[in-house]
Amino acid sequence: MGGSGTRSCGRTPIKAANYLNIIADQLHPYMAFVFPTGNGIFQQDNASCHKARIVLEWFEEHIDEFHLMSCPPNSPDLNPMEHI
């Protein structure tokens, strides 16, 4: 499976508010630049900060700009991030 993008491995858990700041300040402009027609796909796993209400609401507000692909919980076969 290939694609373009970035990945980060941190040593401490990230809080939902910090994750949302990263999404809004860095991911959003990046996706708009790389996928100007709004056909980009963003995948995230089931980390608690990814499933926080404020994060999911933000993605709902921006649904026309890119597609959010979430993976089922505890499904490493469908979530390549779990193998890394």
- Would residue 5 count as lying in a domain? no
Across the chain, what does the average pLDDT equal?
81
Per the CB < 8 A criterion, the answer to whether 54 and 47 are in contact is: no
Distance separating alpha carbons of residues 50 and 16, to the nearest angstrom: 7
Distance separating alpha carbons of residues 44 and 34, to the nearest angstrom: 18
Instruction: Tell me the percentage of the chain whose pLDDT exceeds 90.
Output: 45
- Would residue 23 count as lying in a domain? yes
The stretches in the chain having pLDDT less than 70 are 1-11, 72-84
- Would residue 32 count as lying in a domain? yes
- Would residue 11 count as lying in a domain? no
**What pLDDT, on a 0 to 100 scale, did the predictor assign at position 2?**
47
Number of domains, the chain: 1
- Would residue 2 count as lying in a domain? no
- Would residue 55 count as lying in a domain? yes
Look up the domain containing 59 and give its range. 16-78
- Would residue 83 count as lying in a domain? no
